[in-house]
Amino acid sequence: MQIFDLTGRRALVTGSSLGIGFALARGLAQAGAEVVLNARDAGRLAGSAESLRREGAKVFELPFDVTDHEAVRRAVDGFEAEHGAIDILVNNAGMQHRAPLEDFPADAFERLLQTNIASVFHVGQAVARHMIARGEGKIINIASVQTALARPGIAPYTATKGAVANLTKGMATDWARKGLNCNAIAPGYFDTPLNAALVADPAFTEWLEKRTPAGRWGRVEELVGACVFLASDAASFVNGHTLFVDGGITASL
C-alpha cells in the first residue's frame, strides 16, 4: 500500500551494525528508504552496510559515538550538508548490564544512562533541528518491555527505558506542532546479541515461554512492521505513543 511506502526517504538508524538496529535498517530499506547505518566500530559497520548493498539497498555509513554530544552534532550536520535530509531517525543504540541493585557498579549505571537515554537526547536533538527547519520528520525511539515492567538485576536499565518513553512524550509535546511525529517501539524479549546469555539459559527460556502469551522469543524481523508504520504516512496522526511489540507479555499477569 502506498501509504506505507518509504521510497524517496532517508533513515538514520543508530546502533545498526547488528541485532535489532540492523533488522530495522534492512526493513526500512525493503520499504523503499535509503538507510544510514551508525555504530562506533567502523569496520563492523562497513560489513553490515555491504551486506545490505548486496540486497539492493542504498546505504550510507556514519560512524560516531551516540554518547558524545558534539560528535553527534558534527556527524549529523556534516551528513545533511553533504548528502541531504535525514527524514527518519531510529534511536536504537543501547546496552545492558545485569547485577543485583545493591551491588550495581556506579560506572555501569553511568554507562547505561549515557548509552540508553542521553544518546536519544543527543541524536534526537541534532536530527530534529534539521527536521524542524523542513517542517516534517519521523523520530522512532527504541524503548523496551522494561519501560512498563521490571525484573531482578536490571533496575538501572529499567529506569533508562522508562525515561525513553517519557522523553518520547516530551519530544512529541515540543515538536508535533513543528511537523514531527515522535513515537517509540517497546520490544519484548527478542533473540538478539544483547539477550544472548538469556537465550542460552534453558531455565529462563522456559520461564519466558510460560510467561509470554505468544509462548516464545520474538524474532527481530517481527519489529519491522511497527517501525515501517511509524516511519510512514500511515502514522501521520500518531504522536507520543509507545507501541509494545512483546507477544502479549505486558497484557497478562
pLDDT band with cut points at 50, 70 and 90 for residue 195? confident
Q: Which residues of 111-129 are buried (b: 16+ CB within 10 A; e: fewer)?
A: ebbbbbbbbbbbbbebbbe
pLDDT for 77 equals: 98
pTM of the model: 0.97
Establish whether 157 is a catalytic residue.
yes
Element (H, E) at 142: strand 137-142
pLDDT for res 215 = 97
Distance (Å, whole) CA 60 – CA 79: 10
State residue 37 phi and psi, 5-degree precision. Answer: -85, 145
pLDDT tens digits for 22-70?
Answer: 999 999 999 999 999 999 999 999 999 999 999 999 999 999 999 999 9
141, amino acid identity: N
Residue type, 22: F
Domains, the chain, ordered by start: 2-244 (3.40.50.720)
Cell representation of residue 54: 548486496
DSSP state of 173: H
Report d(CA 140, CA 160) in Å as an integer.
16
Q: Name the active-site residue from 157, 190, 217, 229.
A: 157
Q: Comparing 56-60, 124-128, 158-162, 198-202, which segment has the lowest mean pLDDT?
A: 198-202
Give per-residue pLDDT as tens, 87-112.
Answer: 999 999 999 999 999 999 999 999 99
CA nearest 231: which of 16, 34, 19?
A: 34
Identify the pLDDT of residue 117. 98
Which helix (H) or strand (E) segment holds residue 8: the answer is none
Segment 166-182 mean pLDDT: 98
Q: Are 220 and 175 in contact (CB under 8 A)?
A: no
